[in-house]
């Protein structure tokens, strides 16, 4: 008798649901993907709640998005909100507290206050997709999401015994950015997958297909190369990479460098080079025999680039356009026009800085102004950078902070970066010896991101999540901020895995 209700449920609920899902799978569109995602999410709620923190770590650097929702937000937003909410619940229930990092708390709260106050005074925080009368509110969502994501990451400590797996998830999930370029190359039948994978890296391919004068670029390969190099440094460090008994490590690094060249973006190549230089200095290898060896390897690697640069793919040539090498004149002309476009825009933006020095411009954009500017730009009545200027896309790190949030936003951001360097260095200097290599790699990664943001390319609204992710992951990995040892007993206790420490 007990089996009868189960059979009734299976007949009247399970079978129709299975048929409906099968039909949706056979006819993929936005509504079908949204329905399937909702069903899967409902079935996975218990698992998602239990694994929200590991899933947040895995998705933080990934290319997964909620493409079936307005705005195509990154999927880590969902896990950040869920993990943050679970952290608050655990806090009130007395089970555990958020990990303490007082050096970061003050600048983060100050930055959040500046962002919210500026948004309130400059047109509000509304978004067009939610019925607002202005564009740009999505950027506020990105900034505040990054801050909430930091606290979500620090809501739980990663056990030492699981640190290797967490580092692998954190970095290697970024390989999914290369999937976007692959999906575009496979053809329209695979475009439905862009509902779950960000299509942004494929824009360079699409633009080149519709404009013969443009170089086809593979931005996803550049993002993949950045996270691969980060993982290599966290896993083995440069000393381990140069271990001749394991030559595959060096081949792995060289493959990542080649992938960055195929991206066609000079900024991504510059970041990889900066990261390796910072790590080389941080490990103290410049004082050893590795310095002449690295110089020799660099010359050997540059030789074919100098001799055969004009024979290489156009994307590689564009990445090398910053060097005085012989490349295709059309490729160099496109790269130089991009540089000139930026310098011309920056000369205009610089004159706007005094106007927004005390109270920033914010992110609110009048949709009518954006439409008219775009039409005038396409008609040749305005400069090519006017539309990007109105949208706040300055292609420059300092301007992306100063113009929207003024001097107070810049003070808060620089304060946050300085405190971040201090926290990461303290964790490297005084943290568990088993995490020393990882902490050094996180410090180098953070410093390289800072240098790239201020001197190569930066966008505050999109890159704040990168900085907050590094800091949150470092704090979670070390259980807070490591301090200088006070007693021998404290040192011994800290060396014990977190799972074995007394409650």
Considering 18-32, 33-47, 136-150, 203-217, the range whose residues carry the highest mean pLDDT is 136-150
**What was the pLDDT predicted at 403?**
93
Kindly indicate the confidence band of residue 26, based on its pLDDT and cuts at 50, 70 and 90.
low
Interval 41-63 mean pLDDT: 83
Mention every residue, 6+ apart, whose C-beta is less than 8 A from residue 145.
73, 77, 80, 465
**What was the pLDDT predicted at 325?**
83
Residue 286 token pair: 């410049």
Map tokens 């013969």 to a residue.
Answer: 212
Q: pLDDT averaged over the chain?
A: 85
User: For residues 290 and 282, is the Cβ–Cβ distance under 8 A?
Assistant: no
**What was the pLDDT predicted at 237?**
93
Q: Of 231-235, 324-328, 413-417, where does mean pLDDT reach its minimum?
A: 324-328
Kindly indicate the confidence band of residue 502, based on its pLDDT and cuts at 50, 70 and 90.
very low
**What was the pLDDT predicted at 498?**
43
**What was the pLDDT predicted at 287?**
83
Residue 140 and residue 17: Cα distance in Å, rounded? 39
**What was the pLDDT predicted at 381?**
64
Torsion angle in degrees (nearest 10) through CA of 402, 408, 413, 414:
90
% of the chain surpassing 70 pLDDT? 81
**What was the pLDDT predicted at 424?**
97
Domain ranges of the chain: 29-61+70-156+352-503, 175-327
Pinpoint the alpha helices (H) of 392-502: 397-430, 436-455, 460-478, 488-495
Greater model confidence, 348 or 422: 422
Interval 276-281 mean pLDDT: 94
Mention every residue, 6+ apart, whose C-beta is less than 8 A from residue 256.
224, 225, 228, 229, 232, 272
> What's the pLDDT tens digit per position in 403-420?
999 999 999 999 999 999
Mention every residue, 6+ apart, whose C-beta is less than 8 A from residue 135.
127, 128, 364, 365, 366, 367, 370, 391
**What was the pLDDT predicted at 1?**
45
Kindly indicate the confidence band of residue 276, based on its pLDDT and cuts at 50, 70 and 90.
very high
Map tokens 């079936």 to a residue.
Answer: 68
Interval 302-307 mean pLDDT: 75
Phi, psi for 29 (deg, rounded to 5): -150, -175
> What's the pLDDT tens digit per position in 53-70?
999 999 999 999 988 777
> What's the pLDDT tens digit per position in 427-472?
999 999 999 999 999 999 999 999 999 999 999 999 999 999 999 9
**What was the pLDDT predicted at 501?**
43
Kindly indicate the confidence band of residue 372, based on its pLDDT and cuts at 50, 70 and 90.
low
Residue 492 and residue 489: Cα distance in Å, rounded? 5
Burial per residue of 301-328, b for 16 or more beta-carbon CB atoms within 10 angstroms, e otherwise: eeeebeeebeebebbbbbbbbeeebebb
């Amino acid at each position: 008798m007990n089996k009868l209700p189960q059979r009734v449920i299976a007949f009247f609920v399970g079978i129709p649901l299975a048929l409906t899902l099968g039909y949706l799978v056979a006819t993929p569109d936005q509504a079908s993907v949204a329905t399937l995602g909702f069903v899967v999410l409902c079935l996975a709620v218990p698992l998602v709640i239990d694994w929200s923190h590991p899933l947040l770590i895995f998705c933080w650097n990934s290319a997964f998005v909620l493409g079936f929702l307005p705005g195509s937000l990154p999927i880590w937003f969902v896990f950040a909100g869920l993990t943050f909410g679970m952290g608050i619940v655990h806090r009130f229930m007395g089970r555990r507290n958020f990990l303490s990092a007082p050096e970061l708390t003050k600048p983060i709260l100050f930055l959040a206050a500046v962002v919210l106050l500026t948004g309130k005074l400059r047109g509000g925080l509304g978004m067009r997709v939610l019925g607002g009368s202005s564009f740009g509110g999505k950027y506020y969502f990105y900034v505040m999401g990054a801050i909430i994501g930091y606290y979500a990451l620090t809501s739980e400590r990663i056990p030492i015994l699981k640190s290797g797996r967490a580092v692998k998830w954190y970095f290697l999930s970024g390989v999914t950015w290369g999937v976007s370029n692959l999906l575009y190359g496979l053809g329209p039948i695979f475009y439905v997958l862009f509902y779950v994978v960000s299509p942004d890296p494929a824009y360079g391919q699409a633009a080149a297909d519709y404009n013969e004068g443009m170089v086809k670029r593979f931005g996803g390969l550049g993002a993949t190369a950045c996270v691969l190099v980060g993982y290599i440094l966290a896993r083995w460090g440069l000393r381990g990479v140069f271990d001749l008994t394991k030559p595959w490590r060096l081949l792995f690094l060289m493959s990542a460098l080649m992938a960055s060249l195929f991206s066609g973006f000079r900024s991504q190549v510059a970041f990889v080079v900066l990261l390796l230089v910072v790590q080389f200095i941080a490990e103290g290898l410049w004082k050893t025999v590795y310095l002449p060896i690295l110089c020799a390897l660099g010359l050997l690697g540059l030789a074919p680039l100098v001799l055969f640069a004009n024979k290489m793919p156009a994307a590689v040539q564009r990445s090398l356009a910053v060097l005085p090498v012989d490349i295709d004149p059309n490729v160099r002309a496109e790269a130089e026009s991009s540089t000139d476009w930026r310098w011309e825009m920056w000369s205009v933006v610089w004159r706007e800085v005094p106007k927004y020095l005390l109270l920033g411009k914010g992110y609110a954009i009048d949709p009518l102004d954006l439409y008219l500017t775009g039409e005038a730009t396409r008609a040749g009545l305005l400069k090519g950078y006017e539309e990007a200027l109105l949208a706040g896309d300055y292609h420059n790190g300092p301007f992306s902070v100063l113009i929207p949030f003024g001097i107070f936003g810049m003070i808060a951001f620089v304060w946050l970066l300085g405190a971040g360097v201090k926290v990461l260095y303290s964790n490297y200097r005084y943290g568990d010896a088993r995490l020393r290599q990882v902490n050094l790699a996180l410090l180098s990664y953070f410093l390289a991101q800072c240098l790239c943001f201020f001197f190569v390319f930066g966008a505050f609204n999109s890159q704040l999540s990168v900085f907050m992710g590094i800091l949150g992951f470092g704090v979670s990995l070390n259980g807070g901020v490591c301090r200088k040892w006070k007693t021998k007993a404290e040192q011994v206790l800290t060396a014990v895995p977190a799972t074995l420490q007394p409650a």
